[in-house]
Chain A
Amino acid sequence: MDWIQNLGKNTIERFSAIGRASFMLFGAIVAKPNFVKGFPLFTKQVYVIGVLSLVIILVSGLFIGMVLALQGYTVLVDYGAEDSLGQMVSLSLLRELGPVVTALLFAGRAGSALTAEIGLMKATEQLTSLEMMAVDPLRRVIAPRFWAGVFSMPILAMLFSSVGLLGGHLVGVEWLGVDQGSFWSIMQASVEFEGDILNGIIKSIVFAIVVTWIAIFRGYDAIPTSEGISQATTQTVVQSSLAVLGLDFVLTALMFGS
Chain B
Amino acid sequence: MISKKIELLVGLFVALGIAALMFLALSVASSGMSGSGETYNLYAKFDNIGGLKVRSSIKVGGVVVGRVEEIKLDTEDYAPVAKLAIDTKYNNFPDTSSLSILTSGLLGEQYLGLEPGFIDETVGILGEGDFIEDTKSALVLEELIGQFLFSQGSE
Residues of A within 8 A of B (CB): 40, 43-44, 46-47, 50-51, 54, 81, 90, 94, 152, 154-155, 158-159, 161-162, 165, 184, 187-189, 191-194, 196-197
Chain B residues 54-107 with CB under 8 Å of chain A are: 57, 107
CA–CA, A46 and B109, complex, Å: 44
Contact partner of A193 among B14, B16, B29, CB < 8 A?
Answer: B29
Q: A152: which B residues are within 8 A, CB to CB?
A: 13
Instruction: Say which residue of A159, A165, A188 sits within 8 Å of B16 (CB atoms).
Output: A159
**B21-59 toward A: CB 8 Å interface, digit per residue (1/0)?**
101110111111100000000000000000000000100
Instruction: Knowing A162-B23, A193-B25 are in contact, say whether A44-B30 is a contact too (CB < 8 A).
Output: no
Q: Which of B21, B29, B109 contacts A191 (CB 8 A)?
A: B29
Q: Which residues of the partner chain B approach A43 to less than 8 Å between Cβ atoms?
A: 2, 6-7, 10
Cβ of A236 to closest chain B Cβ, rounded Å: 23
Q: Is B141 an interface residue (CB 8 A)?
A: no
Contact indicator B29/A162 (Cβ below 8 Å): no
Contact of A159 with B29 in the complex, beta carbons under 8 Å: no
* Chain A residues with CB below 8 A from B107, complex form: 81
- The secondary structure that dominates the A interface is helix
Question: Which residues of chain A are near B9, meaning CB under 8 Å?
Answer: 47, 51
Q: Which B residues fall within an 8 A CB radius of A?
A: 1-2, 6-7, 9-10, 12-14, 16-17, 20-21, 23-25, 27-33, 57, 107, 109
Bound-state Cα–Cα, A165 to B52, Å: 29
- 17 A-B Cβ contacts within 8 A? A40-B2, A46-B10, A50-B13, A51-B10, A51-B12, A155-B20, A161-B20, A161-B24, A188-B29, A188-B31, A189-B31, A191-B29, A192-B29, A193-B29, A193-B32, A196-B29, A197-B25
B32 touches A54 (CB 8 A): no
Across-interface contacts of A187 in B (CB, < 8 A): 28
B2 touches A155 (CB 8 A): no
Q: With A155-B20, A162-B24 known to touch, is A50 a contact of B10 (CB < 8 Å)?
A: yes
Task: Quote the shortest CB–CB distance from B61 to chain A (angstroms).
Answer: 16
Report how far A48 CA is from B134 CA in the complex, Å.
Answer: 65
Is the pair A47, B6 in contact by a Cβ cutoff of 8 Å?
yes
Contact status B14-A155, CB under 8 Å: yes
Contact of B17 among A158, A184, A194 (CB under 8 A): A158
Contacts of A196 in B (CB 8 A): 29
Cβ B2 vs Cβ A44 within 8 A: yes
Chain B residues contacting A193 (CB-CB under 8 Å) are 25, 29, 32-33
Q: In whole angstroms, what is the CA distance A196 to B25 when docked?
A: 10
* Alpha-carbon gap, A46 to B9, bound state (A): 10
- Select which of A40, A51, A159, A184 is within 8 A of B20 by beta carbon: A159
- Given A192-B32, A193-B33, A194-B32, A47 and B10 contact (CB-CB distance below 8 Å): yes
B30 surroundings in chain A (CB, below 8 A): 188
B28: min CB distance to chain A, Å: 5
A81 to B108, CA, bound (A): 9
